[in-house]
Amino acid sequence: MRVVTILFLSVLFLVSCAQKPTRVKVMKQTPENFLVENARKPVKVTEQTIVVDARKRFDYQMAHYPGAIHLRWESFVNSRAEYPGRIIEEKDRLIQALALKGLHPSKAVIVVGEGPNGDASAGRLAWTLFYLGVPNIQVVGSASLGLSSNVQQDSQYENAKVWEVPNNIALTASKEEVYAAVTSAPKANKKRAVILDVRSQDEYFKKKGFGKKYALPDLGAINIEWTEFYNQQGRPNLQLRNRLSAIGVTPDVQVILISNNGIRASAAHFALAAMGYKNAKTYIDGYAGLLKKESW
């Protein structure tokens, strides 16, 4: 009996001395973190990567990355609508179309364009995919990724599951927010939103129309052309963050981007989000929306 008692106490001692399992806190990857991390990582295509070519159909058919699918931002809007930059309201239908091409929030996506030498299509498409709930995105220029002229047919990926339509209203600014950024005085300990006009300098300075009236409202915006948001490799220009911070546009400041119809603004917005600007928004209707029944 004494021997059994000793053995029992020995077992208790060993159990109490055993190392307890370490609790590992799993950090949930947020969509914004995906963009920031991807902007700093090299572009690498794996078997799980979906390459999406955002260039014009002719350029894609002439040469594209092997296995890439062709997709244009115009497929997500009504180009004949009053505001052609708005994503169509049937977002569930858009998500179904993306799922049929193999895209899914869990998949890594590389969007191929022409970088700052193109027409902002890649940045706009990347912004659209992010808006529809695909967070793991990288953008790169076609020259950096490498193309092949031996493939002519559209590639096919296995269909993915349909996901819920995300509520990404925080990515877009309303007309009232733009107006408040122009007219409101800064509050205590809170800066007024900064408006970035991403059109060309020629468009920015050409404000006067016939006579002495302004063709466009003067928003007091800072002009930085959308091409400045991307480097020559077609990736987000991380050096621009230092320039923005030097003029007081830091990542904690609310930023509203605007262009003529929201296309270039949303392309610049995607790059800005990749730089860590979580408070950035796009006024998707552009100057066309501000001029509609609006007096300045």
Per the prediction, the chain carries an average pLDDT of: 85
Tell me: the pLDDT tens digits for 248-266?
A: 999 999 999 999 999 999 9
- Given a cut of 80, whether residue 22 has pLDDT beyond it is no
The answer to whether domain 170-291 has CATH 3.30.70.660 is: no
Distance (Å, whole) CA 263 – CA 254: 20
Lowest average pLDDT, out of 67-71, 80-84, 190-194, goes to 190-194
Instruction: Say if CB 182 and CB 292 are below 8 A apart.
Output: no
Tell me the pLDDT band of 145, cut-offs 50, 70 and 90: confident
Q: Phi/psi of residue 98, each to 5°? A: -65, -40
Strand order in the sheet with 194-197: 222-223, 194-197, 255-258, 280-282
Instruction: Say if CB 59 and CB 144 are below 8 A apart.
Output: no
Q: Between 123 and 166, where is the model more confident?
A: 123
CATH code for residues 31-166: 3.40.250.10
Q: Does the predicted model carry a pTM greater than 0.75? A: yes
31-166 and 170-291 agree in CATH topology: yes
Give the start-to-end residue ranges of the domains of the chain.
31-166, 170-291
